[in-house]
């Protein structure tokens, strides 16, 4: 997917009609590479989002509310000085390239009317937002400065002359006649894919639109130049020409294409996309609406993935530490289990004090605790008396006995911590929304695993609470599934009635599942469906024959002081199921 030159043209067309002659009332910089311009135009208020993000560069009018830093960055302060209060007198694109220009008229420090140009370059990792003086062409500043150490070809620094990004010897679409087009195709490498020839030689054309031109000419995307005959080339030109006639006449049909399930966006453009056949499509009235929908979804997904990744890393480190601690504690327990040997040594020495000579370092005695009265050798400290040697072994015994009791409890606590952290990791793997991740972060903060963010200078963004999954079984029963430990506790301890069915994968990290009863009995089919959902929302989602325990809610207890999501249960049955993703698509999902 690409914010290509054709998308830029449609954005410029809409922005010109919407914002030209508008006044910039406020300038904000919510992110290091992102601006929000508040503009009053045609008796309405608009927020223009301009991003030079290396992963998601974009420009469109938005309704999204973003938090701003308490102290504005330097570039934001500079823009407030030069363009806040200014009037937008032109919005345009150069050469069908991915560059937008906003000419802004405002009074300078001397009260003289001056024109500045805010330039937005949509160039992937090289994207930038640059303010220049319109008439001198000199750079005032940019959101990303580019010194010679970063680029020997084109520097972007205050005081330098602004130079447009190089066009890479590509052709302008409106300069391409039929003869030029045919010559372009025939002179290309014979083994090159036709769509690559198009986007490699025409300004502003993305691979997506190049494939669309081929598709509309009834050419497969894998066609190479050597396979084309004269008629095919002419059909290809007709397809190209028809598309660009619409584009240059500002006839657009903003379209998003989704995957078969309709959950994921796989392509978007400002023209109707026909190459994906019967895949679901969404048409928009404006390119701004399309871009806001697409980038808000993508931005939230990217932020969610980033935050989830950071949390996973932190939790994984703590889980490794807990596992190492558990291994050491188990070793200590094995050592403590030797305590009975030291008690026997003490008893044998006490019973045979008369046989121990002074300064003796070892003695062999009959072990009367065994039927065969086996001989046992006992090491002695020659510096100690016989009774002191016996007392030394009793002391070792008592120390290990206390250690055994202590380590046994420590193992229980550490195992609970391991189970808890594994469950948190599983929940993070299944997160799809930012609010779900924030809830897990808050839980980890309250449990002392993660420090509360102390980053100053930015207002905390308010995030709504997430809600559990809610399915309806094929028998019509409500099934609820927790997305995190907070929700697990809510479902089990608050939502569920005492006679409702509670489910969880046996000895496997996973979500709590509740089946709401309608009458005394829940159909076995609903039990199996809910068990499959429980298995799917667990660490065993890719396994088969997964054991899932189920019981009435009244048989589930939360021990005092236990961690979120941790419960104990009894009087349960077990069903073995294989998780099915298809079941999720089949069942009616409420939330």
pLDDT in tens, 227-251: 999 999 999 999 999 999 999 999 9
Average pLDDT over all residues of the chain: 92
Sign of CA dihedral 570, 572, 576, 582: negative
CA-to-CA distance for 13 and 287, rounded, in angstroms? Answer: 10
Q: What is the pLDDT of residue 33?
A: 95
Flag the least confident range among 38-47, 94-103, 425-434, 470-479: 425-434
For residue 189, pLDDT beyond 60: yes
The sheet that has 139-142: what strands, in order across it?
A: 58-62, 44-51, 34-41, 23-31, 87-93, 99-107, 113-121, 128-133, 139-142
Residues with Cβ within 8 Å of 502's Cβ and at least 6 positions away in sequence, in order, are 492, 496, 512, 513, 514, 550, 551, 552, 553, 555, 556, 569
CA distances for 260 relative to 290, 453, 471, angstroms: 19, 40, 21
Inter-axis angle of helices 207-216 and 230-248, to 10 degrees?
A: 120
| Averaged pLDDT for residues 554-576 | 95
- pLDDT band of residue 455 (cuts 50, 70, 90) is very low
**Angle value at C-alpha 124, between 435 and 258, nearest 5 degrees:** 55
Q: How many angstroms separate the most distant Cα atoms in the chain? A: 119
CA-to-CA distance for 321 and 40, rounded, in angstroms? Answer: 56
Q: What is the pLDDT of residue 230?
A: 93
- Greater confidence (433 vs 132) lies with 132
For residue 285, pLDDT beyond 80: yes
Q: What is 162-185 written as a DSSP string? A: P-PPP-TTPBPGGG--HHHHHHHH
- pLDDT band of residue 435 (cuts 50, 70, 90) is confident
CA-to-CA distance for 327 and 320, rounded, in angstroms? Answer: 11
For residue 61, pLDDT beyond 70: yes
Q: What is the pLDDT of residue 453?
A: 66
Task: Give strand pairing partners of 26.
Answer: 38
- Token pair 């960055």 is found at 73
Q: Between the CA atoms of 139, 143, 144 and 145, what dihedral angle is there, to the nearest 10 degrees?
A: 30
CA-to-CA distance for 457 and 149, rounded, in angstroms? Answer: 31
For residue 88, pLDDT beyond 90: yes
Q: What is the pLDDT of residue 304?
A: 76
Q: Please state the φ and ψ torsions of residue 375, each to the nearest 5 degrees.
A: -80, 140
CA-to-CA distance for 122 and 128, rounded, in angstroms? Answer: 7
CB distance 344 to 369 below 8 Å: yes
Q: Supply 442's token pair.
A: 């808050």
CA distances for 38 relative to 41, 49, 82, angstroms: 10, 9, 15
CB distance 439 to 486 below 8 Å: yes
Q: What is the pLDDT of residue 460?
A: 52
């Amino acid at each position: 997917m690409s914010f290509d030159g054709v998308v830029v043209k449609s954005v410029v067309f809409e922005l010109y009609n919407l914002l030209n002659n508008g006044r910039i009332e406020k300038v904000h910089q919510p992110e290091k590479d992102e601006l929000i311009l508040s503009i009053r135009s045609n008796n309405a208020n608009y927020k223009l989002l301009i991003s030079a993000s290396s992963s998601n560069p974009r420009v469109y009018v938005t309704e999204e509310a973003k938090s701003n830093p308490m102290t504005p960055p330097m570039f934001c302060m500079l823009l407030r000085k030069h363009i806040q209060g200014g009037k937008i007198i032109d919005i345009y694109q150069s050469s069908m390239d991915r560059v937008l220009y906003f000419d802004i008229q405002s009074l300078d420090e001397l009260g003289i009317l001056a024109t500045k140009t805010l330039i937005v370059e949509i160039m992937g990792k090289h994207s930038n937002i640059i303010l220049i003086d319109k008439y001198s062409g000199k750079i005032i500043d940019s959101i990303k400065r580019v010194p010679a150490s970063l680029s020997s070809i084109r520097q972007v620094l205050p005081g330098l002359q602004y130079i447009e990004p190089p066009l890479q010897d590509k052709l302008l679409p409106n300069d391409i006649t039929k003869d030029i087009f045919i010559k372009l195709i025939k002179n290309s490498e014979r083994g090159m894919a036709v769509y690559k020839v198009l986007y490699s030689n025409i300004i502003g054309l993305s691979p997506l639109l190049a494939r669309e031109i081929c598709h509309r000419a009834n050419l497969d995307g894998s066609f190479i130049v050597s396979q084309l005959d004269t008629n095919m080339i002419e059909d290809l030109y007709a397809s190209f020409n028809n598309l660009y006639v619409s584009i240059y006449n500002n006839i657009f049909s903003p379209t998003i294409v989704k995957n078969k399930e309709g959950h994921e966006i796989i392509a978007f453009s400002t023209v109707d996309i026909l190459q994906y056949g019967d895949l679901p499509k969404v048409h928009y009235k404006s390119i701004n609406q399309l871009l806001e929908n697409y980038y808000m979804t993508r931005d939230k997904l990217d932020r969610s993935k980033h935050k989830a990744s950071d949390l996973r890393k932190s939790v994984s480190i703590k889980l490794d530490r807990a596992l190492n601690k558990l291994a050491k504690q188990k070793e200590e327990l094995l050592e403590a289990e030797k305590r009975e040997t030291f008690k026997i040594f003490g008893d044998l020495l006490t019973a045979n004090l008369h046989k121990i000579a002074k300064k003796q370092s070892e003695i062999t005695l009959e072990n009367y605790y065994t039927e065969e009265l086996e001989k046992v050798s006992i090491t002695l400290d020659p510096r100690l008396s016989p009774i002191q040697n016996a007392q030394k072994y009793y002391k070792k015994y008592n120390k290990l006995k206390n250690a055994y009791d202590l380590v046994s409890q420590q193992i229980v606590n550490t195992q609970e911590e391991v189970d808890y952290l594994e469950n948190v990791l599983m929940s993070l793997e299944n997160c799809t929304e930012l609010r779900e991740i924030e809830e897990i972060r808050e839980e980890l903060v309250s449990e002392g695993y993660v420090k509360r963010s102390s980053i100053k200078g930015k207002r905390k963004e308010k995030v709504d609470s997430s809600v559990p999954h809610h399915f309806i079984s094929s028998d019509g029963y409500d099934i609820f599934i927790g997305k995190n430990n907070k929700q697990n506790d809510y479902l089990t301890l608050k939502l569920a009635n005492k006679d409702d069915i509670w489910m969880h994968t046996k000895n496997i990290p996973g979500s709590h599942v509740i089946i709401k009863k309608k009458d005394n009995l829940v159909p076995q089919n609903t039990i199996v469906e809910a068990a499959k959902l429980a298995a799917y929302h667990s660490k065993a989602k890719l396994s088969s024959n997964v054991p899932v325990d189920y019981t009435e809610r009244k048989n589930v207890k939360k021990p005092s002081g236990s961690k979120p999501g941790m419960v104990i249960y009894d009087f349960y049955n077990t069903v073995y199921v294989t998780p099915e993703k298809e079941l999720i698509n089949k069942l009616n999902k409420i939330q």
